[in-house]
Structure 1
């Protein structure tokens, strides 16, 4: 896959353990070097800033700044994370407005399904089921976006292929101008 014309935004949301990071990396690897950027909420919030996820947190602004700069440089930009609707919807809407194309995806899994997926991850011992219970939000639709919803029946490969197909299909149409 080669870079697409103009900045494209891909947002992948869902609960901890749902597969967002795995999917984001797999989509990124389908592009050539330096054509696609992944802006991971956990990386910005926990690794770069070492802050808790809270309303008005600096991570929200920093995610937006990084994503905007990646799009300004023509990168397909994937923003992935739990991205709680109450805290992140405003930022995601601003990013969607700034992008030529914006595609939104969310995982809708039960708490038990996220636990089962989490158990297969290399970092499974880094946090407990109780931690995950505290982070679990369930499906949280964004008020401004038509999100594609993935349930437990979707394999990682199927999700990656769907996003890839959507990017190609969307690329064949005229990019939408930013709304004022």
Structure 2
């Protein structure tokens, strides 16, 4: 079998505004993603908080943005409004390790183009930023199993209820003992 050339990585459009704001409170991820996006031709600005992200959005009016949903001082959706006020045509991608349908819907309603789970690679992010078609993205190579998605949802609600089993069970409309058995188990494999 002959070696096939690797597909060429997507790059920022030449000749246009390629300013990119990346806001994430995870410094290693933010810096690694910043370097990867610079290699793809973007003019990158980095921020670690909502306050810093809003300041850069208002001051520099970036054409593109990659935002983490949960930040140490608030929610990445707060930055979306500042970006839309500064530049209505900004292309915004939301990254999160805590994805759920409600936050995805809120992000899209606020003006986010795509909602990607962490860890997302730079090629997938670049494709989402530059894709101007309304087509659905290709299915993920290794999606989480239904059992894993259920387990992640239960864990998230449990944390949001301050680890209160009774309150979590009530909100999930689940028997308390059933929830306790689920919480005692390890996460299902993908």
TM tier, smaller: 0.3 to 0.5
TM-score where L is the length of structure 2: 0.42
Bigger radius of gyration: 2
TM-score of the two chains, using structure 1 as the length reference: 0.44
